[in-house]
């Protein structure tokens, strides 16, 4: 099997916007290693250009006839295109808002851009995830980058404390999420695709079982703690102070949960699956 047939079989063109973000990220990373601090003159504008190019690529994917790629693991339908575009645009505006502050703080701008685009990449993949493993990997890519953004002000003890607390909450929520996913995997007879799980649960007649309810509760709880819609934790004084840092407009700790496209990305796979689950059962 040659490379062209492999690309056609996987329908890899669906993730062209994500590929553009990856290339932009690598150029910023390598450019900073080569040029050092002088890279701050061009890396933010290169990042913005790459993110806007990704948005342009998403525009041309609207209404595509075959949105499924990677053997059904990624779904680039119109709703996914909207969310991925929101995430990429938010990242571009975040770069614009952060340039001056990062430079004045004395921290590396290129490192911040790389972490930010990694979080953007995780959010974009999560918005199109149609398979449990891809959901988890994308969610962890987004979460780990958010931990780093939260603790990016290494000289500020409040930032360090908030990052540690966020890491502990994230680790706990990952365990809860994986437990719920494992229950779904077992109830569906070993399926990992969301659409296949829905059909399998309906066919096996376990749509009203207590096991399905418990698994959904664990999955929702894991995503909820991961995206921090619970105000009890984000209302802690340490979190509240760090949330006001201009450096962190992209972090889930930097905005109200209802206004963060990264958190919309966390909930998007559930939005894609639950309506079909209800109609199937």
- Mean pLDDT, the chain cut into blocks of 10 residues (281 residues total): 66 84 92 83 90 92 79 81 90 88 80 91 87 87 86 80 84 88 84 80 75 85 68 43 43 37 50 46 40
Q: Which domain holds residue 275?
A: 3-280
252 within 8 A of 260, measured Cβ to Cβ = yes
Look at residue 175 and give its three-state secondary structure.
helix
Q: Provide the pLDDT for residue 49.
A: 92
User: What pLDDT does 46 receive?
Assistant: 92
pLDDT of residue 279: 43
Rounded to 5°, the CA angle 116-118-122 comes to 115
pLDDT, position 120: 92
Q: Could you give the CA distance from residue 149 to residue 120 in angstroms, rounded to a whole number?
A: 12
C-beta of residue 246 within 8 angstroms of C-beta of residue 101: yes
Q: What is the DSSP letter of 107?
A: S
Looking at the structure of the chain, the number of domains it has is 1
Residue 266: predicted pLDDT: 52
Contact criterion met (CB below 8 Å) for 87 and 118: no
Q: Report yes or no: 229 and 95 within 8 Å, Cβ to Cβ.
A: no
| Distance from C-alpha of 87 to C-alpha of 120, rounded to nearest angstrom | 6
**pTM for the full model?**
0.77
Residue 147: name the closest of 129, 174, 127 by CA: 174
Q: What is the pLDDT of residue 245?
A: 42
The CA distance from 87 to 262, in Å, is 7
């Amino acid at each position: 099997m040659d490379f062209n047939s492999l690309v056609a079989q996987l329908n890899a063109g669906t993730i062209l916007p994500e590929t553009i973000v990856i290339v932009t990220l690598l150029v910023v990373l390598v450019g900073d290693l080569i040029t050092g601090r002088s890279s701050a003159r061009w890396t933010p504008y290169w990042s913005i250009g790459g993110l806007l190019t990704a948005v342009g690529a998403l525009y041309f994917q609207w209404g595509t006839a075959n949105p499924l790629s990677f053997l059904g693991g990624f779904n680039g339908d119109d709703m996914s295109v909207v969310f991925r575009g929101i995430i990429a645009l938010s990242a571009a505006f975040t770069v614009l808002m952060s340039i001056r502050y990062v430079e004045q703080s004395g921290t590396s701008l290129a490192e911040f851009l790389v972490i930010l685009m990694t979080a953007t990449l995780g959010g974009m993949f999560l918005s199109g995830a149609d398979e449990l493993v891809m959901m988890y990997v994308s969610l962890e890519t987004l979460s780990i980058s958010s931990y780093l953004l939260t603790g990016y002000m290494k000289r500020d003890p409040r930032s360090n404390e908030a990052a540690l607390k966020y890491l502990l909450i994230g680790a706990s929520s990952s365990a809860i999420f994986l437990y719920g996913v494992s229950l779904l995997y077992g109830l569906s007879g070993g399926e990992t695709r969301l659409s296949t799980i829905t059909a399998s649960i309906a066919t096996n007649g376990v749509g009203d079982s207590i096991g399905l309810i418990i698994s959904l509760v664990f999955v929702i709880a894991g995503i909820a703690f991961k995206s921090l819609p619970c105000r009890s934790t984000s209302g802690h004084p340490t979190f509240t102070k760090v949330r006001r840092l201009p450096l962190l407009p992209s972090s889930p700790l930097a905005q109200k949960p209802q206004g963060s496209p990264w958190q919309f990305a966390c909930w998007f796979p559930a939005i894609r699956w639950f309506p079909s689950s209800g109609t199937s059962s």
